[in-house]
Structures are given as structure tokens and as C-alpha cells.
Structure 1
């Protein structure tokens, strides 16, 4: 047997060769096992990093949607406050802008509701509805006149009744609360300087 294994003089036994082979095989298998564990660890870390990136992107998108909704709602308030100040020769355009902005609030509210909790979605939709009702109120209580419009189209006009912001402001504050946002101080929000800044900011972002 020793001759068949190429061992001369019988100095190495079959059992010793088998033992060496088994030991070597164990080392190889252990090495493969270590590689597999390292690979699994790498995959786990990559999966955790991908999940963390997904959560961060989701949170950033959520904040952006919140900002878009609050900005649209605040701009609607500004447009209505300015339109109510006096008789305007271009009141038809102002009413259209108010209606368009109310639609923008509704669209922004729908975006928020798509990825929000039930409570947050409800508050967003309530704000969108309040915006629509406020714009309808303004249109209903605007008296239009022909002014200098061409072809008899009524362009000048004035809002005849004070817009009621109570419901709208309440829905906006509720959204701030449920979204975990800090609203501007109510006095700051209604200050003429703040409204002027906001109007310019909105115009420059177009």
C-alpha cells in the first residue's frame, strides 16, 4: 500500500496522509466559510445603507411637500389680502390668480396626503378644502365693473365683503401642528412687511 502511495520505506502511514488531507480540507472549508460570512456582512451593510438613504430621501420629500403646501396657502392669503385693500382696475386678473392659487393649494395638499399618515393627510385635505372655499367666497363677493376694458369685458372691481380667514387660518395651524412644523408668529404672518417679502419671494421663484 505504501508503494502505491509513492512512499518509500513505509516511513509515512496511510492514516497520516489521510489526517493531513482532512486537516487541509478543513482549512479550505474554514476559509470559504469566512469568505461567505464576509460577503453576507457586506450585503447586510449595503442593505442598511440603502434603507437609510431611502428613509432620508423620503423624509426630505416629505419636508419639501410640507413646505410647498404651506407656501401655497400663505401666498393665497397674501393675494386675497392685497386684493381686498381697494378697487383694482385689473381685478379680473386678481380673481383668476386667487382661484389658480387655491387650486395650487389643493394640488399641494393631495401630494402631502399621498405619503402622509392618516391624521396628516386629513389635515392637508382640510386645508385644501378651506382654500377652495375661501377663493369661492372672494369671487362671490367681488363686484366687477367695466372700467376701461376693451370690448365690454369687465376687468376692474372690488371685493365688497371682508374675507373671513378664521376657518382657513385654523386649518393651516392644524396642519402646522400635525406635521410637526413651527409656524411663524401670527403677528409676523400678518405684518405688511412680511406679506411684501413673501409676495416678492413667490414672484422670484417662478
Structure 2
């Protein structure tokens, strides 16, 4: 049995100043860096996802010139662009497992992504014997929600660390956390965290 941290989409386009920037994104980036630096033994494996969209098409309707901000969005996190890069305050270290999602299709959950080798996240987790997952990142009410729900649905024990997530709006973020709690996730702060030191 092993543990994993899911760092969801802490990218320039989703943090302050980005195309879809959320308030508190930069604080989340620095907070995750601090967690990893101060508690390096807390997780056996660290996964970090990024939206990595095609720049020459609408990615299956995900991009729109008239977005509804539910199923369609302005152009963001185009592969290789500055907006798709991790926030500068996020220091992941050398052993992180990078996951790219949304390559030509709509994608919200980290489980819809792949490693550079093409290996899907579920297969990586199974191979590594992961049983428990903590989820942090952006946005609480979209990709964090989708990733945590998929983790629960796949049978993992899931915690969402509320001080290390940031959402689009307070109301929808609160509703997302309530939904996750009802689905079986533990919704808690990272401090005190009870993680392995």
C-alpha cells in the first residue's frame, strides 16, 4: 500500500493574471511547495496534472469564442505556451509524475490524462500500489472536483486539503467540497494533517 498526492492544474492560465485565473492560485502554488519541502516523506508518489490543449483546433468543443464557462471556455493552456506552464511558485522536485490532459478533447479529471509515455493514470496508480490519495490544486469546483470524484469512484481513500485548493467562485467551491464529503472524501486542512513525517 502506498500514498499519492494529486496536484491538479497549478498552471499560469489558472492563477492570477491568467486567462482563467482564480483568486488564491499563487498562494496554493507556494503552499504546495511548502508542504512538499517540509514533509518530504508524507507521500510515496506525487502526480501533477496540466491541461495541455491543442492550439490548432477547438479541442472537441472545449474552446469557444462564445464560451458558456460550463462546457466551453476561452482558449487556455495551449501545449507549449507560457500559460500551460506550472506556476513559478510551484516546486515539484525531480521525482514527480507529470500528467497531461485535454490533448484535443475536453478533460477535467487527472484520470483522463496520460504520462508522456502514454500510460494512463489508473494504470500508474495500480502499478505503484497506491491506495490513498490527497488532492490539491485548481480549480476546486472543476478539475479538483472531477479528479477527486474519479478517485473515489475507483475505490481510493481520498482527502481534499482545503487550504491548498482554490476555486472559481466561493459558492460553487463550497458546493463542490460538500459534494465530495457526501461522496466519501475527507475534507480537511493540511494542518494539522496527520500525514507521515
Q: TM-score, normalised on structure 2?
A: 0.26
Of Structure 1 and Structure 2, which has the larger fraction of its residues in helix?
1
Q: Point out the structure with max Rg over C-alpha.
A: 1
Q: TM-score, normalised on structure 1?
A: 0.25
